[in-house]
Structures are given as structure tokens and as C-alpha cells.
Structure 1
Amino acid sequence: MLKPIIILLLVLTALTTFSVALNVTSIDKCPTLIPRNPPTDVNDLRVDDIKVIGALGDSVTAGLGIKGFNKSPNIIGNLLSAIQEYRGLSYSAGGDEDAFTIANYIKHYQPNLLGSSVGQRTKRFEICIWANAFLFLGDNCFASNDGFHDQLNAALSSATAMNLDKELNYLIKTMKSMRSIDYENDWKMINIQIGSNDMCDSCKESYQDRASSERYGEYVEAAVDKIHTNIPRVIVNLIGNYNISGVFPLTANYPDYCAIRNDGSGNGCACASTPEGLDKMKKLNIAYDRKLIAISNKYKKINSKSFAVIYQHNRYDLPNFSMEFFSTLDCFHPSLKGHQWTSKVIWNQIFVPESQKPNLLLFDENETIHCPSNSDRIITY
């Protein structure tokens, strides 16, 4: 009789331990997973199976504005702080030590992870906005990546969905050139978030067609198709657009919070200055996310064992948001706390089916991080 009681106590202890470790404040508090042989089916992937991480996107993924605006008497210091991309802290692919990022969460389980961006660099002035401003230049974005800092974070500030192909060319070339990567056999994750600049530019006459939901969907789908064709063993993580139309009414209530407002003046968000523009962005936001979901659903039907596309919700409850989410640079880009929180809510969704994912997200800097167990898989359905 004693033996069954002991077994029961051991089981209860194990369950109690698991429940305590299920959600934590820092990934280093999560227990590691029991090693296993790499799977041959993308639907059997655990996070420790991911050996390579990459990212496509715009200035958010590039880490622009994370540290805010340095309001020191040093004018040069202020200017430099305003144009820094903190690639190593980017929620999507940052790899700086102790940074709260999706890449570092994976690295906790897979210490040999390759591809995460590091450090900071000055934003390139030959940015995409100059190329995108003229129809005859097509998608020949003049921006360039810095292989040392960027690694496989191919995001470019001011990029639109049209520029994904250029970013992907850099990512594929760089991935193939990294000797430590087994290009054919290593499992890879590529995070994609794009669309804010498309929405902002949709009020410009020369942009209206390229910013339509139809063209947006075509650009993103073409990028996903190119990944499918050219990169073996990969899972594409499509991340929804946050509803930026709600950002401007919210931040307008805090006129002294940031240094420069991205409110439609200069090279800012062209649609932000009128109610009609805000309404247009709101509708495009919904339409863009529907396109992302449709792309994800398209690839669910092909039943591939080496390729999958997943979608993560990213719609924010902005009327109830804290200003701490936003950078003091421009009240538009996420701050360090914003990136940290985003990394958690996107990471947590990776392990739950579509029916259980939150439709509306409320900023909470104390958001916890899910610790996947040995039985947890990256949900591909």
C-alpha cells in the first residue's frame, strides 16, 4: 500500500512543480527540455529544434527608437539617440544578452541558435522611403543591411511590404554564407511583421494602389512563396499589425511625452492628420490582417512536412494602453518596455491553437512568459 502512495505523491509533486514553472517573469526561470533527435516533420517542432532565426520587417523589427530620446543638453547626443536602431533588443530577433526577445527565449532552449541581431547601429539615411516615393523606382529600396549587427534580421527602417523581396534576398544570401548553418537540414524560424508604413502612406496619391489590401497581400504572399521555394525546413511566423490608427488619438493626450510626433508632418505618417486618414488606416489594418490569416490558411492546406506558416494576433486595446509602451522619440515606435511585452505576447501565442489566442491585447509590463514543456509543440494548425 505504501508504494502506490509514494508514486501518487511523486506525481502530485511533479504536477505542482510544472504549474509553478508554467508562467514566469524571466525565461531563465524556465526548466530546459529533455534533448531528443531533431524531428522530420514541421508539425512536431519544439522550440529547442529551431537552430536558426531570421526576421523581415520595418523600423519596429529594426529596433528604431527603443531607447527613446536622450533629452540631454548635448544636441549631438540627442540627434544620435534619435537615429539609433537597437537591433539586439528587437522583440522579434534581438540577441543581446538578457534581452527579452523571441530569439533569446528560443536560445534558452537551443543555446546554439544562430541569426539573432546584436548591438545597435545608426539608421541608414538611404532608407526605403526615398525609393518608395517614386513610382519608377519600383521596389529598388536603397537601404542596406549591416551583416555584423543585423545577422539574419533583414528588417529595414521605412520599409513597406513591397520591400520584403529585397530583405529576403539579403536574408537568403547571408544565411547560405554562414558556415555554422546547415542550410539544408537545420530547422529555421522567420518572423515577419510589416504594414505600418503601408497604412501611413496610403493617403499619398502615388501610394494608394501599392498600399491597398490586395497589393499588400500579394507582396507578403510572394515573400512567403519565395521562402517556401528557397529555404528548406522553415516555419514562417506572420505577426499581425497593431492598430496604429488608435495610436495618434491616444498619444495626443500626452503632448510632452515625446520629442517628435509622427503625426503627418514631414516624413511622418501621412494618414494621421485627418479623421478620414485615421479611418482609412483602421480599415486597412483589419484588411491586412485578414490577408495574413488567408496566407497562413493557404499553407495549412498543402500539408507539408518541411514548411509551415503560422499567424499571431497583434491587435492592441489602445484606448486603455499605457504610454510606457511608446518610445519617447516619437510616440509611435515601441519603447524597450513595449518590445519586451510584445516578445512575451507573441511567444505565448506560439503554443496555443487559433481558437485560444487573444483577439485583443492589453499592455502589461508584468506579462509572464510561458515555459513550454517536453510535450509542447509549436502549433501549426
Structure 2
Amino acid sequence: MYMVLLCLSLITALLGQSIISQAWLNRYADEDLSGIPQIALAFQDKHYYPLRRTVQALLRSPSRIEWARTNNKTQKAVPEAIEFPCKTNGTRSMTTPTSVHQIRPGDIDIIGSIGDSLTAGYGTLSRNLPEVLIEERGLSWSGGGEGTWREYLTLPNIIKVFNPDLFGYSYGASLAEQRASQFNVAEGAAVSQDIFYMTRELVKRIKNDKRVKLNEHWKLITIWIGANTFCTQICYEDHNKLTQLYYEKLHRALSYIKNNLPRTIVNFVLDFNVQILMSMSGRPEVCKINNILVCPCVFCTQFKQQIPQMMKTLLDFHKFEKNIVEMEEFKTQDDFTVIIQPFAEHLSFPLNRLNKTDLTFFAADCFHFSQKGYATFANALWNNMMEPVGHKSTNWTNLFDRFLCPTADSPFIKTWKNSATKDDV
């Protein structure tokens, strides 16, 4: 049975890479200007998604949760006797704000997320390689709302403390097209240029949801994408063309959100340096083999000489991402802003008592993260949101070691404008 599941898992993963692969897509016309041709979408609906649903159903087992807790792969549960780290009085405005620069955490009504497998929650509770394919969206660090912050620290579970009526977060184990994913449209194997397609899908979902009051509700969207670009594309594609394509797609995506979703804050998370994966120590052999399969550009010896150029391209990506966010066109509306959140820019992995990489932060494939790892991401993202622009942390800390809170003097989610003065003008 294990071998059957492993084969199904590998087939599913390879299909995913094929669908997203730029070389494959270039064989067809870009029919709807979204980045993915209709023929690929039809294939996904008819064959790929049913296969993934079958694999996910076969792999899911309630025992994986208890296993993850026993093996220190989850955060330590916070007892009911311990209060939430922040005071919640005054963290929702008395009247709905009209300026994006005066948004308190409790003013956020809708939450959504865009990204790849790291946002879809792959591998969160995995005990073995096949289980890495289970999409634990309810535990997604930026888009999941399963349980509460006490057992699963996620950005939605933090915001829910300030506004219990928050909606849009995903729950359970679900694929992107299933109802439980709600406004988490992340897709496994997605690459940077897929950002515009996913943006359109997210906007469509929000606009079609009867709960949404488009012009009244404040929305928070977190975008984190790029790991697969540097794992599976960068060693095969022309760097200049790849960079230019991503620049165009990112600009179009942010413009599309600005023009179609009033009252929106976009968290744009800078990608981490995937080369850091090479420095992981204590990986089991199964991880080393899997890393070569899922991230050949970094782990295959034939591409070693390209790594310095890859890292230069990563810095170029970061540079123009920051430049796009600083464009005047994204600062002209009082009901929209996009903020660079750089907590992963200089990410370093924690070590265990043997001075080796602490693999309890990772999924079974040593590439994705465990629930404990994703919870630490959520903590770091939340801190970035509370830190002034220009003074944001670029690494994570142990869970709850540093958990910033809004205060009477500084009550707002930090933007380029309210970071300018001490009083959040």
C-alpha cells in the first residue's frame, strides 16, 4: 500500500510540475492573458484535480495530528489560563475607517492569500513523503483559520482575536478549488509568473461571495511566491527574460487588486534564499533524494556553477519587488496599499542541541515546513505588520519570544505613510 501511495504521490507531483512548467505552456497560446492557457485549465479540471483529491483522501488519517504533536512537529499548546499576548481593547475602530493608513487589526474583515505549496500548507503534519502532498490549508500560516491561536498560530487566528467575525480563511485539508479553501488560492508548484492568474481567481472569489460588502469591508491579502522559480526554473530559463516576465506579472497583479478590490492591504512577503537549504545538516537520505527531485536548480551538481548567478537574480527580484511597491501609482488611493514584509529575506534555520538543523521545524521532505515551522512564520509576519516601514525585521525568532502588539500610541497596521511619524499620522 505504501508503494502505491508513493507512486500516486510522485505522479501527482510530476503532473503539477508539468502543468506549471513554462516550457510546456509555451507550446500553447496564452488565450485569456492570465498566464495559463484554457487547454491547461481544462486538463486540470478533468484529470489533475480528481487525481489530487483521490491521493489526498487516501493519505489523510486523523492519527497524523497526534503523531506530529508527539514528535514535536507542532507548537506547544497555550493553556486557557494564559491570555493572548496583546490587549484587544481599542483594536477595532469605533467607526469604519476610510483610510488604509488608519487600519487597526480588528478592522480587517476579510483575509486572503496567494502563493505556492508553502502557502497551501503542504506537509504540515506529514509523517512520510507521500503525506507531504496533503494540503493542510486550515493550518496555513497566512491563510488558515483552523482552531485558535492557542494550538495553531496563523495570521487569520491572530486577526480573529481582534475581530471574531473575520472570514475568508481556509479550514481543514482542502485543495484550491474546494469550498473549504475559501480565499486561499495558493497552488502547489506555482512559480512567480503565475501570480496574475491567481490574483484574478482571488478577486473573482471575493466578488462572487455573498458575504462580502465590497466597498465596506477591509481586506488583507498576503502574497508569498517564488521558491519554485528558483528551484525548478532558474537553471533552465534565460534570467533576464524570467525577471522581466515576473516584473510584468507582478505589476499587473497589484494593479488588478488596486482596481478591483477597494479597501485592501497587500502583504507582499519577500522570498527566502533557497540556497540556505543546502546548508541544512542532519538531513536523512530520503530528504536528500527528494530535495534533488523537487529543487534540482539548487541541489543538482550539474547546476552548481550557476548558483552565484541564481543568487544575483534573486537579489534582482527583491530589488524590483521593492521598486514596484514604491511606485507612485500604488500610493494615490487612500483605500489601497501594498507593504513589503521582509521577515524571510535573511532567514536562518534553528539548530538543535547537537548543533544540527532542527528538523522539527520541517515537513517529512525537509523542504516544506511543519506546523511549528509555519506557526513561527505567522509570528514573524505579524511582527512585520506591526513594525514601521524601513525598520522591519528580516529573520524569525522562536515562537512567542517576540510578539509585537498595537498600542495606544501606535494602533495601526504599519504602512509607508503612518510609519513616517511617531504618532501614526
Aligned equivalent of 2:297: 270
- Equivalence for 1:114: 167
Distance (whole Å) between structure 2 residues aligned to residue 279 and residue 200 of structure 1: 14
Q: Distance in 1 between matches of 2:397 and 2:285?
A: 18
The answer on whether the counterparts of 1:26 and 1:369 sit within 8 Å (CA) in structure 2 is no
> Structure 1 residue 256 and structure 2 residue 308: aligned?
no
Contact map agreement 1:271 1:281 (CA 8 A) in 2: no
**1:57 Cα deviation after fit:** 0.5
Where does 1:171-320 land on structure 2 (aligned, <5 Å)?
A: 171-205=202-236, 207-208=237-238, 212-248=242-278, 250-251=279-280, 253-256=281-284, 259=287, 261-265=289-293, 267-274=294-301, 275-299=304-328, 302-313=331-342, 314-318=344-348
Which residue number in structure 1 is paired with residue 370 of structure 2?
335
The answer as to whether partners of 1:245 and 1:279 remain within 8 angstroms in 2 is no
Structure 2 length as normaliser, TM-score?
A: 0.70
Cα distance in 2, alignment partners of residues 291 and 366 from structure 1: 32
User: Hey, what does 1:162 align to over in structure 2?
Assistant: 193
Change (3 A) 1:278 1:301: same
Aligned runs of 1:25-64 on 2, under 5 Å?
A: 28-34=84-90, 35=92, 36-64=94-122
Distance 2:182 2:383 in 1: 25
1:90 paired with 2:121, answer: no
Task: Go from structure 1 to structure 2 and tell me whether the alpha carbon gap of 1:176 and 1:348 turns closer, same or farther (over 3 Å shift).
Answer: same
Contact 2:191–2:228 at 8 Å: present in 1 too? yes
Q: Is the 8 A contact 2:350 2:358 kept in 1?
A: no
CA contact (8 A) 2:195 2:253 kept: yes
Residue 368 of structure 1 and its aligned partner are, at CA, apart by 3.0
Moved over 6 A (4+): none
Find the aligned partners of 1:347 and 1:362 in 2 and give their Cα distance: 11
Is contact 1:327-1:334 (8 Å) kept? Answer: yes
DSSP-derived class of the 2:268 partner = strand
Instruction: Mark the CA change 1:101 to 1:271 in structure 2 (over 3 Å): closer, same or farther.
Output: same
Deviations 1:223-253 (CA, angstroms, capped at 9, x unpaired): 11110111111111100101111112x22x3
CA distance in 1, matches of 2:117, 2:82: 26
2:146–2:172 CA contact under 8 A, matched in 1: yes
Distance 1:215 1:109 in 2: 39
Equivalent position SS for 2:295: coil
Given that residues 344 and 367 in structure 1 are in contact (C-alpha distance below 8 angstroms), is that contact kept between their aligned partners in structure 2? no
Query: Per-residue deviation at 1:212?
Result: 2.9
Task: Give the whole-Å Cα distance in 2 for the aligned partners of 1:376 and 1:154.
Answer: 30
Looking at both structures, which has the greater relative contact order when contacts are Cα pairs under 8 Å and sequence separation is at least 6? 1
> Which amino acid in structure 2 is aligned with residue 102 of structure 1?
L
Gaps of 5+ in 2: 1-80, 352-356, 417-425
Cα offsets for 1:88-135 (capped at 9, x unmatched): 1111111001221111111110111111011113x6xxxxxxxxxxxx
How many pairs were matched up? 322
Q: 1:284: Cα distance to partner?
A: 2.5
Give 3-state SS (helix, strand or coil) of 2:179's partner: helix
TM-score by length of 1: 0.77
Q: Structure 1: which 5+ residue stretches go unaligned?
A: 1-24, 71-77, 124-144
Deviation of 1:160 (Å): 0.9
1:290 is aligned with what amino acid? K
